[in-house]
Structure 1
Amino acid sequence: MASPAVATRHPSPSIFGPDPRRRRGHSPSNLGFRRSGLQLKVTAIFGWIKGDTRTRELNPSAESYTLTGSASEADTKPREVSVAVVSSIMDIPSADWDACAVDSVDPDNFNPFLTHAFLSSLEESGSAVKETGWLPLHVVARDENETVVGVVPLYLKSHSRGEFVFDQSWAEAYYSYGLEYYPKLQSCVPFTPVTGQRILVRDTPYRDQVFEALVKELKSLTTKLKVSSLHITFPSEGEFSKLKDSEFLQRIGMQYHWRNRDYRSFDEFLMDLKQPKRKNIRQERKKIPAQNLKMKRLRGDEIKSEHWDTFYKFYRNTTDNHWGRPYLTREFFHRLGEKMGDKVMLIVAEHDDKHVAGALNLIGGDTLFGRLWGCLPDAYFPNLHFEACYYQAIEAAIELNLSKVEAGAQGEHKIQRGYLPVTTYSCHYFLDPGFGAAIGNYLAHETAQVKHVIKVLHDSGPYKEDILNEFLLTQGDGV
């Protein structure tokens, strides 16, 4: 049995001069970046007076961590890992990144959003880059043989957009007391509220010790870069528990997921619902063919370039008229299709042989992830959104024998269509102990409220009582 992991850091010199943090009454300004050899420089960093040309140098030196304590009885030799920061995921070979991204606890639980293909598509397409306020600062750990043994997707953020764990009120509180909240460090999958590992560690006998070394490095970076805070959003439940012991504040949230009880058909799923809910869903689905709509599920090579161009129009119609900000570029969708193949499912609706709406999904090891929806500006078809985003996803999950469908953030209307609330997690580390304590007190009250809401929504779900009790017993999130 492995002994408790202990990682000792060999510190490097501080890279910043005096901290100009305390400035009262200044809001964030735009940020300019430039590369200089192996050194990144940030000019006119947020919160400084407009026109101030001083720079902070982003040149975090590699740290060496000695992993003490035996990883196993057969391997008692202490190991050393070197932990460094890279400015692009393309600086890490895809095979090395993906070897770390495999869930060592459950290798079959493939998460497409953690792959090199997905994250590099965000960077190469200009979606998650320094110009959009997402400066990549990915962390990579190598052992003495230069083997990559751990990675962390990490970004220096100039705002809180595209995260789905809302901290804008914290930023306002910082500014009201003359402190800078931005920039901050964010470990996440940009624009993607999907739970998964964030501290990705290759499956080795000493992986727990590498995990601890990476956590120490994340906290060290927060100090060296003199940022306000470090946020790890939508980590796994296991990471959430571990990080509590490393001075991270804990926050919970809520999403809506559908679970497969080994259904053989959509009708079999409907039989688990209360009669009024079952009747309502059947009526909604009947309206799709009645409006001369045809639904198609496309995968891999079936998705052509013109499909992505059309879907981008759907996406922009949604962002321009509802969300207000298009995070993803047209090129992202094309790169996603090229790199991820049959892990991508595009559900499209046709009317008079014309594509009028669509929903983007990614396929994981045991989960179908519903991501984006959109339609043409003049395409109004009652219940099409429910069909494309929820019912088609459930049918696909049943056909592919997947355990669940994750339908993303928000939307209580999902409950009446078979999706139940589940708990999501985030972890937050603050350099200022006073603000950390204040936010910790706030989170204690918020956690109690979120747990109560989840229980109320769960109890009012559409399932028959015995099915609902079964879900409660297997949920396993303490709610």
Structure 2
Amino acid sequence: MDSTRDGNETKAGGDYAIRVVDSIGGFTRAEWECLSGTSRNQLGNYYNPFISFDFLQILEESGCAIRRSGWMGQHLRLEAPDGTLLGAVSCYLKSHSQGEYVFDHGWADAFERAGGRYYPKLQVSIPFTPATGPRLLAHRAADADVVRAALASGLKLATDRLGVSSAHVTFATQDDMRALEGAGFLARTDQQFHFFNEGFSSYDDFLATLASRKRKALKKERREALAHGIDIDWLTGSDLTERVWDDVFAFYMDTGGRKWGRPYLNRTFFSLVGERMRDDVLLVMARRNGRYVAGAINFIGSDTLFGRNWGCIEDHPFLHFEVCYHQAIDFAISRGLKVVEAGAQGEHKIARGYRPVTTHSAHYIVHPGLRNAVADYLERERQEMERIGEYLDEHGPFRKDGPAPDA
């Protein structure tokens, strides 16, 4: 695709122009919500809260995803000759590889040992959020395949024009992957564990799909998690007071400080989410002796519950599994949600009824030597991930001999 550069605009083939804006404020809310799947209010949408205008704006406004934290907005607008928005990409110029959950530290180390400069790089993702969703966003009235192809090519052009080492699109959908691979991006696979609601009417209905020994183990685990006078509350909407967010933030800081050293999200982020997205949030909170001692934050999509952050100030056996996994299943069944995405990693989720699922990312590497090395690595990694997935699926907790008797 031929291109010319004029300020922050790249003209692509005369039919489209890619313009770069440094914040989500470079779009109006109305523009953003005309992109496929970004508005809960559009009939028939698959709503993903993480690509909503509110969520991306909150990340920037709170100071969590800004230049100072190593997430400099470089969002792409695909425009018609008259300036009409046809598509967009949520994109950041990164000075590190933190908060991405698809790990490329080894690539960076190898390239820099060889005398290259890996950072900065372009990152197409939702900061700090390992959840699959659309990355190449098309206007509802446009030809989505054509727009995605133009955005994939435009992302390569932006990478080249900026003179950075690479562009990375993480937790992408299959539609996005087809466009990105068609544009020459390298494909990478990883694995998460999701619960699938097969029309269950209750948790016991779900348990009936498990082998007898697994059913008994989960029932015992759930009893023991609550054995020390612990009650569970589901909080959403107007339940999300600042006092509750104080508790959630304390849990988050305890876990984040131990796990990452420097937690990614600040207190302002949680307040803004509670103010602007309260109906998209479920807090599962564990209460003992009149105070909350643990909790998990989840986001609610049109048919998916997305598990995100967990923390506690008291340690109790199995409480993490109860709050993060069992209660999420309970909520999904009660709301008729089809899927629970319980976040990154964690093979321990399999024993609790979560199934291995392949996730996808795409990578454009400018330097031919690094590109060839990464391509070779990714081919071997894909084969290994496929073998692991097949093994885990075969050795899951589900019955192999039809419906279970009454448990």
TM-score, structure 2 normalization: 0.95
Q: Determine which of 247, 257, 265 is the counterpart of 1:320.
A: 257
The equivalent of 2:279 in structure 1 is 342
Q: Are 2:112 and 1:175 aligned?
A: yes
Task: Map 1:188-203 to 2 at 5 A.
Answer: 188-203=125-140
Change (3 A) 1:147 1:217: same
Aligned to 1:336, the other structure's residue is in SS state helix
What is the rounded CA distance, in whole Å, between the counterparts of 2:196 and 2:180 in structure 1? Answer: 28
Determine if contact 1:9/1:63 at 8 Å carries over to the other structure: no
Determine if contact 1:101/1:114 at 8 Å carries over to the other structure: no
The equivalent of 2:358 in structure 1 is 423
Any gaps of 5 or more consecutive residues in structure 2? Answer: none
The equivalent of 2:20 in structure 1 is 85
Determine if contact 1:415/1:461 at 8 Å carries over to the other structure: yes
The equivalent of 2:331 in structure 1 is 396
Q: Are 2:350 and 1:357 aligned?
A: no
What is the rounded CA distance, in whole Å, between the counterparts of 2:198 and 2:189 in structure 1? Answer: 26
Q: Are 2:168 and 1:260 aligned?
A: no
The equivalent of 1:157 in structure 2 is 94
Letter in 1 for 2:330: E
Q: How far off is 1:223 after superposition?
A: 0.8
Q: Determine which of 167, 189, 204 is the counterpart of 1:230.
A: 167
Aligned to 2:264, the other structure's residue is in SS state coil
What is the rounded CA distance, in whole Å, between the counterparts of 2:273 and 2:172 in structure 1? Answer: 23
The equivalent of 2:387 in structure 1 is 452
Single out whichever of 269-278 and 203-212 deviates more from structure 2.
203-212
Letter in 1 for 2:8: S
What is the rounded CA distance, in whole Å, between the counterparts of 1:179 and 1:441 in structure 2? Answer: 19
Letter in 2 for 1:437: N
Single out whichever of 252-261 and 287-296 deviates more from structure 2.
287-296
Q: How far off is 1:144 after superposition?
A: 3.8
Determine if contact 1:288/1:294 at 8 Å carries over to the other structure: no
Q: How far off is 1:341 after superposition?
A: 2.2
Letter in 2 for 1:169: G
The equivalent of 1:304 in structure 2 is 241
Q: How far off is 1:145 after superposition?
A: 4.2
Q: How far off is 1:12 after superposition?
A: 1.9
The one of the two structures with greater contact order (alpha-carbon pairs below 8 A, sep at least 6) is 2
Aligned to 1:429, the other structure's residue is in SS state strand
Aligned to 1:465, the other structure's residue is in SS state coil
The equivalent of 2:5 in structure 1 is 12
Deviation per residue, 1:68-97 (Å, 9 max, x gap)? xxxxxxxxxxxx333211111022112211
Q: Are 2:8 and 1:61 aligned?
A: yes
The equivalent of 1:475 in structure 2 is none
TM-score, structure 1 normalization: 0.81
Change (3 A) 1:205 1:226: closer
Change (3 A) 1:64 1:207: farther
Aligned to 2:306, the other structure's residue is in SS state strand
The equivalent of 1:463 in structure 2 is 398
Q: Determine which of 185, 194, 198 is the counterpart of 2:122.
A: 185
Q: How far off is 1:9 after superposition?
A: 4.3
Q: Give % identity.
A: 42
Aligned to 2:34, the other structure's residue is in SS state helix
Single out whichever of 129-138 and 197-206 deviates more from structure 2.
197-206
Determine if contact 1:198/1:232 at 8 Å carries over to the other structure: yes
Q: Give 4+ residue runs of structure 1 displaced > 6 Å after superposition.
A: none
Q: How far off is 1:383 after superposition?
A: 1.0
Aligned to 1:348, the other structure's residue is in SS state strand
Q: How far off is 1:101 after superposition?
A: 4.1
Deviation per residue, 1:386-431 (Å, 9 max, x gap)? 1100010000000110001000111111000000110000000011
Aligned length: 400
Change (3 A) 1:180 1:466: farther
Letter in 2 for 1:65: A
What is the rounded CA distance, in whole Å, between the counterparts of 1:425 and 1:308 in structure 2? Answer: 33
Deviation per residue, 1:289-327 (Å, 9 max, x gap)? 421001000111111011111110000000112332200
Change (3 A) 1:205 1:189: closer
What is the rounded CA distance, in whole Å, between the counterparts of 2:389 and 2:150 in structure 1? Answer: 35
Q: How far off is 1:381 after superposition?
A: 1.1
What is the rounded CA distance, in whole Å, between the counterparts of 1:328 and 1:349 in structure 2? Answer: 22
Q: How far off is 1:192 after superposition?
A: 0.5
Letter in 2 for 1:147: T
Task: Map 1:286-305 to 2 at 5 A.
Answer: 286-305=223-242
Change (3 A) 1:213 1:453: same
Deviation per residue, 1:255-295 (Å, 9 max, x gap)? 00000010000011001001111001101111244210010
Any gaps of 5 or more consecutive residues in structure 1? Answer: 1-7, 14-59, 68-79, 469-479
Determine if contact 2:2/2:12 at 8 Å carries over to the other structure: yes
Task: Map 1:82-161 to 2 at 5 A.
Answer: 82-102=17-37, 107-161=44-98
What is the rounded CA distance, in whole Å, between the counterparts of 1:12 and 1:354 in structure 2? Answer: 58
What is the rounded CA distance, in whole Å, between the counterparts of 1:216 and 1:290 in structure 2? Answer: 56
What is the rounded CA distance, in whole Å, between the counterparts of 2:144 and 2:227 in structure 1? Answer: 56
Determine if contact 1:390/1:417 at 8 Å carries over to the other structure: yes
Q: How far off is 1:334 after superposition?
A: 0.8
What is the rounded CA distance, in whole Å, between the counterparts of 1:62 and 1:180 in structure 2? Answer: 25
Letter in 2 for 1:396: F
Q: How far off is 1:143 after superposition?
A: 2.4
Letter in 1 for 2:9: A
Letter in 1 for 2:108: A
